Amino acid sequence: MSAWLIALLIYSSLALLSFLPVLRALLTWANLNPGGPSFSNSANFSDEGKEILTQNYKRMEGTLKFWKTQAERYRVFHNYSLIWVTISSVGVPLLAQATDSDPWSKWLLTVVAAHSAVLLAISRAFRVEAHYKAFRNGESDFYDIYRRMLDRPAAFGAEEQDAIERYLIQVERVRKNVRSAETDNFPSVEDAAQGRDGAVSTATPNRSSPNS
């Protein structure tokens, strides 16, 4: 068996095996971590205040689960792409010089370059890193506000009604910011075309002869 074929099989196997965490993230939903004592257990609020805050959090749970799931999906894909594009950036020039008359050597070069090109195109067209930051920051911002309200409600206002009102306004602002970031980062046909063209120009090796 050709050594180039063995190398191709090893590369393909590693690329597929390392994609499994990405596939698992794409097919499953993240679970929210237990947050400890909540508004219903707090001694800082009246029964009416506890009910308002608890209902608001319950309405946010679906959004928080969506944010966490999306952030995890974009995170694992970003890490996968970063690793394999880095390997390709180093490997493609070396393979371009090492290829010989064995057709499997050219197939290995093609697969490595194409793999990198596809990952770059998807990452750029779907703005993977920007989406990850938007969802992760939104989740983190909400929990910062949530914990501050639990621990230091006076930071939102001296009176309970004012504190709850300001808390709800800040929660709404976080939701709007994440929604705005998600909309701004939504891919378009132009983004996909730019990502494809940029990936091809970056990943495709220069096969011209030094004597040309």
- Domain membership of residue 36 (yes or no) is no
- Domain membership of residue 38 (yes or no) is no
The total number of structural domains in the chain stands at 1
- Domain membership of residue 156 (yes or no) is yes
pLDDT at 190: 59
From first to last of its 212 residues, the chain has per-residue pLDDT tens of 789 999 999 999 999 999 999 999 999 999 988 777 889 888 889 999 999 999 999 999 999 999 999 999 999 999 999 999 999 999 999 999 988 888 999 999 999 999 999 999 999 999 999 999 999 999 999 999 999 999 999 999 999 999 999 999 999 999 999 999 888 877 655 555 555 455 544 444 444 443 43
- State the Cα torsion 24-29-35-39 to the nearest 10°: 170
Specify the pTM: 0.81
Say how far apart CA 118 and CA 124 lie, in whole Å: 10
Residue 66 buriedness (CB in 10 A; 0-12 / 13-18 / 19+): middle
DSSP SS3 for 140: helix
- Domain membership of residue 113 (yes or no) is yes
- Domain membership of residue 210 (yes or no) is no
- Domain membership of residue 71 (yes or no) is yes
Consecutive H or E run containing 26: helix 3-27
- Domain membership of residue 139 (yes or no) is yes
Nearest residue to 73 (alpha-carbon basis) of 123, 128, 112, 116: 128
Place of tokens 């097919």: 27
- Domain membership of residue 209 (yes or no) is no
- Supply the range of the domain harboring residue 100: 3-27+47-203
